[in-house]
Amino acid sequence: MVQPKTTKNQKGLHGGSVQADGGKAIFIIHVTAPVRRLLRACVIATFLVPALEIWYASSACGAPPEAGMQIYTETIPGTKISFTMVPIPAGEFDMGSPAGEPGHKPDEAPVHRVAIRAFWMGKTEVTWDEYDQYWQKEPDAARQPGKVKAGDSDVDATTRPTPPYADETFGHGREGHPVLGITHHAAMEYCRWLSQKTGKTYRLPTEAEWEYACRAGTTTAYFFGHDPSKLGEYAWYAANSDDLTHTVGQKKPNPWGLYDMYGNVAEWCLDSYRADYYQTLSRSPRALSPVLLPQGHRFGDVVRGGSWADDAARCRSAARRASEPRWIRRDPQRPQSIWWLTDADFVGFRIVRPLAEQDNLKDLRSLVTRDSSN
Ligand SMILES: [Ca+2]
């Protein structure tokens, strides 16, 4: 038996008839081919436009691209250990916090305009895996005459920590965990070693760079808004850390793709801390890449982002802290170590790489020696 051929009209809109539907009359009109095409386009647009919006929103995650800058992963030469650097575009932002922000402290005022040059920032805090390559696994033999590899000629110019007096992880975990309990001097020397190993300039972020990257275009207390109850989605801090650091990169990132900017370990910045520094900066309409260079004291340097031990207020984007001599009070060595902090198992760091280094930071190195004062 031959079945009657099904036409498009039988499947779709057809008629010019009136049908009853629960007492309501529905009039179905004849639809011509051009109108059908138009309707089809409308249906496609209904679904396609939201899909495109979602795609655009997801592709817009991360900072707007700076010309020539891409996210990249670098393997430390001679090792299998790598780290990832995220491009941070040049731009301006309002640094500091207003007095009305819950948790605000006087050293975060006044809010002042700052311009920042482009740089890359570590996607995560520096881990033990990376730091161990510097202080533990880099063979001293490499510094002997005749054994220095090509391109490594300056490696012997860097200094390294002496072995610590106790478990340097303080029981926090090693593999994948952020390095901690190291001094500002040690963090700076690591950067110098890494620069020599890779041929790229790596250093600590300036305090302004750190806050700019942390805010990622936001002006709220946290980069996710004002509500600290959401902090647990982005950070290991006092309320959820179990008094330990955690593997880096497990929480949600900030809008520019940086992980653990709040909590886990607090992060060294390059700057020396001064409570009234922002008052100086606010005298000009716009401070360009400000930095208060470290002067060779053992303490009094800036730490940002709060740690596993801190409450929410200390994790705010604008929150500032200075290193203190009590962070090493239990060190039995005399003079005390310039590398390790016996009482600061909450301080680590992340690195940046400038697209073009500003003049006052070129060839910068730590001035701290064993004779340095606090
Ligand atoms: Ca952190």
**Whether the predicted pLDDT of 61 surpasses 70:** no
Q: State the distance from the centre of ligand 1 to the C-alpha of 372, rounded, in angstroms.
A: 27
**Whether the predicted pLDDT of 265 surpasses 60:** yes
Q: State the distance from the centre of ligand 1 to the C-alpha of 83, rounded, in angstroms.
A: 16
Contact predicate 265/234, CB 8 Å? no
Look up the CATH number of domain 69-361.
3.90.1580.10
Q: pLDDT digit string (tens) for 168-216?
A: 999 999 999 999 999 999 999 999 999 999 999 999 999 999 999 999 9
pLDDT band for 148, please (50, 70, 90 cuts). very low
Mean pLDDT, all residues of the chain: 84
Q: State the distance from the centre of ligand 1 to the C-alpha of 308, rounded, in angstroms.
A: 8
* pLDDT mean over 248-270: 98
Q: pLDDT digit string (tens) for 109-127?
A: 999 999 999 999 999 999 9
Q: What is the pLDDT of residue 31?
A: 54
Q: State the distance from the centre of ligand 1 to the C-alpha of 32, rounded, in angstroms.
A: 63
Q: State the distance from the centre of ligand 1 to the C-alpha of 67, rounded, in angstroms.
A: 28
**Whether the predicted pLDDT of 43 surpasses 50:** yes
Q: What is the pLDDT of residue 136?
A: 84
Residues with Cβ within 5 Å of ion ligand 1?
A: 260, 264, 305
Q: State the distance from the centre of ligand 1 to the C-alpha of 268, rounded, in angstroms.
A: 9
Q: State the distance from the centre of ligand 1 to the C-alpha of 225, rounded, in angstroms.
A: 18
**Which of 140-144, 304-308, 366-370 is predicted with the least confidence, judged by mean pLDDT?**
140-144
Q: State the distance from the centre of ligand 1 to the C-alpha of 252, rounded, in angstroms.
A: 12
Contact predicate 202/195, CB 8 Å? yes
Q: pLDDT digit string (tens) for 74-122?
A: 999 999 999 999 999 999 999 999 999 999 999 999 999 999 999 999 9
Burial (Cβ within 10 Å: 0-12, 13-18, ≥19) of residue 61: exposed
pLDDT band for 44, please (50, 70, 90 cuts). low
**Which of 63-67, 184-188, 358-362 is predicted with the least confidence, judged by mean pLDDT?**
63-67
pLDDT band for 167, please (50, 70, 90 cuts). confident
Greatest CA separation for the chain: 104
Q: Nearest-CA neighbor of 152 among 142, 162, 160?
A: 142
* pLDDT mean over 334-356: 95
Give residue limits of the domains in the chain.
69-361
Q: State the distance from the centre of ligand 1 to the C-alpha of 129, rounded, in angstroms.
A: 16
**Whether the predicted pLDDT of 161 surpasses 90:** no
Q: What is the pLDDT of residue 37?
A: 72
**DSSP letters spanning 42-96:** HHHHHHHHHHHHHHHHHHT-SPPPPTT---EEEEPTTSS-EEEEEEE--EEEEES
Q: State the distance from the centre of ligand 1 to the C-alpha of 180, rounded, in angstroms.
A: 11
Q: Global pTM?
A: 0.80
Q: State the distance from the centre of ligand 1 to the C-alpha of 127, rounded, in angstroms.
A: 11
Q: What is the pLDDT of residue 8?
A: 37
